[in-house]
Amino acid sequence: MVRLHVKHGEQSQFLYDTTVQINVSVLVDELLHLYNGRLKIERICSEMEYLAKHGTLLPYNMQGLTDEQIVELKLKDEWAERCIPSGGATFCKDDIGRRNGQAPSTKMAEVLVKTINEAKANINKKLVDANSVMTKEIIKDTLNELRGAVTIVYPMGLPPHDPIKMEFDGEEDLSGTQASLSVIPADQGSLWWAAKEMQLDKKLCDYVGKNEKTKIVVKLQKRGTGPPGREPVVTEDEKKQMMLQAYRRQEDLKKLQEVEDDNHLNSQWADSNMLKRQFQGLNNISWRPGKNL
């Protein structure tokens, strides 16, 4: 199996095992499924953290309004009475006015938080350093675990406008959001290796050879955005070690310079008593222990 170290920009994303006989078009689709799947999980986890703290999302016409404005406009969150968390709700106001403040109980909130932490661990970028590969099953199972946790806490379901439900149903609308800049649409993906864009009508072996025991670094890009930046010659850790060695050598040279600057003090011309000893005939006298006669 060929092991791909997949990057987007300069950041590592995940490791993926495949074969050199795979078509590049199929490979790009598989990598995009994992890449976008990880982003979906991150978005769901982010919203679930707010769900655990402040309850379900308010209707769009009530978001950002003060309590006085809601009363004055006679608005009502009808979904708050339907989507009640298991064990009842505790009020925790959302200061930014997105969620209704009907947070689940501490026990139910812990169910959500625990599942969120496990989901983040499943897709953590540090898995690359641990030499752990990403698979479709991991993405699928992680999404199912998140969905299951939400179902346990909210057995009646979430409002249809809640982004968590929309993500689970595949109806999320990311237009105009920061998250949309990271997503690569399925028909706009391209794969780069060794500063070359892999053509979709070719196979992976056309680029890396037929050796299955190969590990390469590839980069996912949006098509038409140009080539990604080249990989640095040295890693960040290697750069830090080189800087440390250069600093140590500089300090050693400073110490040597200080020693050389003081060497003249041992010279004869720097001896203030040399002329006196010369007149007294005391120069070039060596002292030896005497012998008993």
Please give the single-letter amino acid code of residue 293.
L
Angstrom distance (rounded) from CA 139 to CA 44: 13
**Nearest partner of 48 among 145, 146, 122, judged by Cα:** 146
Q: Summarize the chain as % helix, strand, coil (round to 5).
A: 50, 15, 40
* pTM for the full predicted model: 0.77
- pLDDT-derived band at 175, boundaries 50, 70, 90: confident
pLDDT, one tens digit per residue, over 81-104 is 889 999 899 999 998 899 999 999
pLDDT for 293 equals 47
Tell me the CA distances in angstroms from 185 to 174, 190, 216, 229, 243, one per residue in order: 12, 10, 24, 21, 41
Contact 135, 33 (CB under 8 A): no
pLDDT over threshold 70, residue 152: yes
pLDDT, one tens digit per residue, over 121-149 is 999 999 999 999 999 999 999 999 999 99
**Nearest partner of 230 among 267, 193, 188, judged by Cα:** 193
pLDDT over threshold 60, residue 117: yes
Q: Which residues contact 45 (CB under 8 A, 6 or more apart)?
A: 116, 119, 120, 146
* Phi, psi angles (nearest 5°) of residue 12: -70, 145
